[in-house]
């Protein structure tokens, strides 16, 4: 398997790799290539979208192209994130040799102490998704609108209450967590397409999701209330599903250890009482925002007459918010 954005000819002595990560000259392209290939397809390609992915791939592979500073910047950020993700996810395998006699230390050499290996892996994991967000932010700032394609679950949709992860976390008053944003993004889309129209009607919801800069829906009261409703509704519904999911073995609890936590840095999940209290708080916050939004729209029914036809005040369903069908969000 050959990665799209790394070349063997540029890594005879790890030259390309070493511009992004302090690896030694013996860092073997052939060994890391399958992990790079997987990382590109599990994380990067899904964020970029097929149209821009192909444009960037053609640009990278053609050495005779005219210089495009935007493409160069995006590719470099993409490579930096991809290399860290690949190394992080393959860390344990790269530390050993797989032979017909089993697992052995590379060339019989002594490996680092366990605490050193754990610290290195934790650092790679943290940097991997920090650099993935750097790439994402640059992608948004580039205004290359073709990258959104027609994927209704794409993270950066033009028709959305949240154009960036920062908007989502500013609404929920949380520290930005790009991995969490990736996990919740389909839930946000679903809430925008179902829960929001159920509360204020499809016409008003569609108009609001287009984020107009002028007109009746450019009201500074409406958008923050709608964002607060959707964001906290998603968080409330996700409390349970972020920890447990349905597998071929039935109801399964996610193992933090299995998902990349190492050493003494493994997180502890909250107990049932704490989860219930947090879910209740999020649900009440969402309900309060929805109520305020509806009250405001009805108080100004001369501008928003469609609200008079909306009779329901509760959510149509409780949905499962995780991207469980996409490996890229099992982080």
Q: Kindly report the three-state secondary structure assignment for every residue of the chain.
A: CCCCCCCHHHCCCCHHHHCCCCCCCCCCHHHHHHHHHHHHHHHHHHHHCHHHHHHHHHHHHCCCCCCCHHHHHHHHHHHHHHHHHHHHHCHHHHCCEEECCEEECHHHCCCCCHHHHHHHHHHHHHHHHHHHHHHHHHHHHHCCHHHHCCCCCCCCCCCCCCCCHHHHHHHHCCCCCHHHHHHHHHHHHHHHHCHHHHHHCHHHHHHHHCCCCCCHHHCCCHHHHHHHHHHHHHHHHHHHHCCEEEECCEEEECCCCCCCCCHHHCCCCCCHHHHHHHHHHHHHHHHHHHHHHHHHHHHCCCCCHHHHHCCCCCCCCCCCCCCCCCHHHCC
Answer yes or no: do 133 and 177 share one domain: no
Answer yes or no: do 188 and 138 share one domain: no
Residue 58, φ and ψ in degrees, nearest 5:
-65, -40
Residue 170: give the domain boundaries.
Answer: 165-329
Give a yes or no: residue 159 inside a domain.
no
Answer yes or no: do 325 and 201 share one domain: yes
Answer yes or no: do 197 and 143 share one domain: no
pTM score = 0.71
Answer yes or no: do 99 and 142 share one domain: yes
Answer yes or no: do 124 and 210 share one domain: no
What is the rounded distance in angstroms from the CA atom of residue 206 to the CA atom of residue 192? Answer: 9
Predicted local confidence at residue 258, as pLDDT: 41
Domain count, the chain: 2
- Tell me how far CA of residue 278 lies from CA of 48, 190, 233, in angstroms: 34, 22, 12
Name the domain boundary from 148, 174, 207: 148
Question: Quick one: CA torsion of 287, 290, 294, 299, rounded to 10 degrees?
Answer: 90
Answer yes or no: do 194 and 139 share one domain: no
Answer yes or no: do 192 and 324 share one domain: yes
Give a yes or no: residue 225 inside a domain.
yes
Name the domain boundary from 148, 183, 210: 148
Give a yes or no: residue 16 inside a domain.
yes
pLDDT in tens, the chain (331 residues): 899 999 988 888 888 998 898 877 577 888 899 999 999 998 888 788 788 888 899 999 988 889 999 999 999 999 999 999 998 888 877 776 666 665 566 665 656 778 888 888 888 888 888 898 888 888 878 877 554 545 544 545 557 898 778 889 999 988 878 888 888 888 898 999 999 999 999 999 999 998 888 889 999 999 999 999 999 999 999 887 666 656 666 655 555 544 444 444 455 667 778 888 999 999 999 999 999 999 999 999 999 999 998 865 455 555 444 454 444 433 3
Predicted local confidence at residue 111, as pLDDT: 66
Answer yes or no: do 41 and 70 share one domain: yes
Predicted local confidence at residue 107, as pLDDT: 61
Question: Quick one: CA torsion of 127, 22, 59, 62, rounded to 10 degrees?
Answer: -160
For residues 194 and 318, is the Cβ–Cβ distance under 8 A?
A: no
Give a yes or no: residue 3 inside a domain.
no
Answer yes or no: do 170 and 143 share one domain: no
Burial 213-243 (b: 16+ CB within 10 A, else e): eeeebebeebbbbbbbbbbbbbbbbbbebbe
Name the domain boundary from 148, 177, 193: 148
Angle between helices 222-241 and 202-209 (to 10 degrees): 100
Question: Positive or negative, the Cα torsion across 321, 327, 328, 329?
Answer: positive
Give a yes or no: residue 2 inside a domain.
no
Picking from 201, 198, 193, 209, the residue whose alpha carbon sits closest to that of residue 301 is: 201
Give a yes or no: residue 181 inside a domain.
yes
Give a yes or no: residue 100 inside a domain.
yes
Q: Which residues fall within 8 angstroms of residue 56, CB to CB, at 6 or more apart?
A: 5, 48, 71, 74, 75, 78
Give a yes or no: residue 155 inside a domain.
no
Answer yes or no: do 321 and 194 share one domain: yes
Predicted local confidence at residue 99, as pLDDT: 61
Answer yes or no: do 59 and 84 share one domain: yes
């Amino acid at each position: 398997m050959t990665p799209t954005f790394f070349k063997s000819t540029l890594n005879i002595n790890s030259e390309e790799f070493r511009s992004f990560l302090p690896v030694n000259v013996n860092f073997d392209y052939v060994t890391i290539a399958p992990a790079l290939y997987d990382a590109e397809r599990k994380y990067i390609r899904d964020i970029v979208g097929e149209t821009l992915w192909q444009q960037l791939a053609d640009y990278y592979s053609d050495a005779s192209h005219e210089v495009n500073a935007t493409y160069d910047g995006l590719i470099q950020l993409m490579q930096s994130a991809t290399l860290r993700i690949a190394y992080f996810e393959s860390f344990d395998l790269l530390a050993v040799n797989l032979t017909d006699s089993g697992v052995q230390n590379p060339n019989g050499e002594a490996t680092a102490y366990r605490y050193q290996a754990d610290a290195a892996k934790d650092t790679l994991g943290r940097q991997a998704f920090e650099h993935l967000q750097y790439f994402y932010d640059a992608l948004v700032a580039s205004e290359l609108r073709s990258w959104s394609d027609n994927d209704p679950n794409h993270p950066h949709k033009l028709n959305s209450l949240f154009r960036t992860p920062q908007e989502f976390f500013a609404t929920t008053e949380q520290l930005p967590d790009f991995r969490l944003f990736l996990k919740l993004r389909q839930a946000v889309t679903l809430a925008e397409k179902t829960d929001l129209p159920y509360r204020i009607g499809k016409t008003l919801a569609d108009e609001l999701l287009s984020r107009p800069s002028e007109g009746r829906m450019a009201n500074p009261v409406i958008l923050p209330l709608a964002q607060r409703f959707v964001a906290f509704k998603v968080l409330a519904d996700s409390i349970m599903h972020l920890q447990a999911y349905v597998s071929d073995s039935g109801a399964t609890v996610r193992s933090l250890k299995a998902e990349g936590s190492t050493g003494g840095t493994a997180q502890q999940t909250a107990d049932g009482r704490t989860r219930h209290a947090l879910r209740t708080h999020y649900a009440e916050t969402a309900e309060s925002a929805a109520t305020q939004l509806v009250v405001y729209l009805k108080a100004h029914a001369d501008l928003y007459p469609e609200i008079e036809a909306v009779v329901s005040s509760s959510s149509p369903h409780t949905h499962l918010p995780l991207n469980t069908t996409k490996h890229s969000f099992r982080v």
